[in-house]
């Protein structure tokens, strides 16, 4: 069975539909890119996969091994308030929250996990720094470390490179690719960046026209032509 399956999924807000009848599935170890115009409902879809909004119709099925809350998540805009006083360490560790259950404090294993993920992201030196005083790229990496604390299975990334410079963007993609190839973590990434498509195995295009299939199929299809030529307004 696929790790995550969407069946006849309809999503919307207060009665109007954003996504109609969407079908796709993600297997363990896949690298899926979700593309589409602004406002086509990519973030909405991701929120539904995370269980933050309930589908209007249809279902999202997860594999037995993937329990609720076993998903790591990198939000599009950090909903975090700009003034929030928090150190990099505190933010990263908060990714372990779901492992705690009702236990009030983090145990040693969780602290080690957070430590390890900080290292993976090359953030050891920034551990004590204040999160809000970091650059955008550093903040993204902290949030990625936090997401990794929450899961070993599947990562949902909503435009992880928005606002990053070309070098940091390339680094970010490399990091994500490593997580996918070396650690076997399933990646589902929303992106406007045609560069990112080359890393993916599968593409989901949403909007007026829908597409779901492998990368090579996508690149040959008509839908990708518009996207690749930059005809979308992003």
Ligand X SMILES: Nc1ncnc2c1ncn2[C@@H]1O[C@H](COP(=O)(O)OP(=O)(O)OP(=O)(O)O)[C@@H](O)[C@H]1O
Compute the least distance from the CB of residue 156 to ligand X, in Å.
Answer: 12
List % helix, strand, coil for the chain (3-state, nearest 5): 40, 25, 40
Compute the least distance from the CB of residue 212 to ligand X, in Å.
Answer: 16
Ramachandran sector of residue 190 (left: φ over 0; alpha: ψ -120 to 50; beta: rest)? beta
Question: Could you give the count of Cα atoms lying within 13 Å of 133 in the half-sphere of its Cβ?
Answer: 9
Nearer CB in complex with another protein: 89/199: 89
Nearer CB in complex with another protein: 83/222: 83
220-234 b/e with 16+ CB inside 10 Å = b?
Answer: eeebbeebeeeebee
Nearer CB in complex with Mg ion: 39/184: 39
18 contact choice in another protein, Mg ion, ligand X, none (CB below 5 to 8 Å, kind-dependent): ligand X
Q: How far is CA 5 from CA 128, 217, 228, in A?
A: 40, 20, 27
x/- map, 25-64, another protein, by CB under 8 A: ----------------------x--xxx------------
* 9, 57 Cβ separation under 8 angstroms: yes
Longest dimension (CA), the chain: 53
Contacts of 45 by beta carbon, 8 Å cutoff, 6+ apart: 9, 11, 19, 22, 34, 206
Nearer CB in complex with ligand X: 44/117: 44
112 contact choice in another protein, ligand X, Mg ion, none (CB below 5 to 8 Å, kind-dependent): none
SS3 track for 20-65: EEEEEEECCCCEEEEECCCCCCHHHHHHHHCCCCCCCEEEEEECCC
**Binding status of residue 75 toward ligand X by CB under 6 A:** no
Q: Tokens 């593309």 label which residue?
A: 35
> How many residues at the interface with another protein, by CB under 8 A?
40
Main-chain dihedrals φ then ψ at residue 70, nearest 5 degrees: -90, 20
**Binding status of residue 65 toward another protein by CB under 8 A:** no
Site for another protein in 102-131 (CB under 8 A): 104-106, 128-130
**Binding status of residue 73 toward another protein by CB under 8 A:** yes
Site for ligand X in 3-62 (CB under 6 A): 13, 18, 36, 38-44
> How many residues at the interface with ligand X, by CB under 6 A?
11
- The footprint of another protein (CB under 8 A) covers 47, 50-52, 67-73, 75, 78-81, 83-87, 89-91, 93-95, 97-98, 100, 104-106, 128-130, 133, 146, 150-151
- The footprint of ligand X (CB under 6 A) covers 13, 18, 36, 38-44, 76
């Amino acid at each position: 069975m696929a790790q995550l399956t969407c069946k006849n999924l309809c999503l919307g807000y207060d009665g109007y539909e954003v996504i109609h009848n969407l079908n796709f599935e993600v297997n363990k170890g896949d690298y899926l890119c979700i593309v589409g115009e602004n406002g086509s409902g990519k973030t909405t879809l991701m929120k539904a996969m995370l269980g933050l909004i309930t589908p209007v119709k249809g279902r999202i099925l997860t594999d037995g091994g993937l329990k609720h809350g076993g998903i790591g998540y990198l939000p599009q805009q950090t909903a975090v308030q700009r003034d929030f006083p928090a150190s990099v360490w505190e933010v990263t560790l908060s990714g372990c929250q779901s492992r705690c259950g009702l236990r009030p404090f983090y145990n040693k294993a969780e602290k080690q996990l957070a430590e390890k993920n900080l290292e993976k992201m090359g953030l050891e030196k920034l551990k004590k720094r204040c999160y809000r005083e970091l650059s955008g790229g550093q903040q993204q990496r902290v949030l990625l470390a936090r997401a990794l604390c929450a899961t070993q299975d599947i990562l949902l990334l909503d435009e992880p490179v928005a606002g990053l410079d070309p070098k940091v963007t390339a680094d970010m993609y490399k990091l994500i690719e490593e997580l996918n190839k070396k650690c076997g973590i399933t990646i589902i990434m929303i992106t406007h960046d045609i560069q990112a498509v080359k890393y993916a195995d599968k593409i989901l295009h949403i909007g007026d026209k829908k597409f779901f299939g492998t990368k090579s199929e996508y690149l040959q299809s008509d839908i990708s032509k518009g996207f690749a030529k930059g005809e979308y307004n992003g």
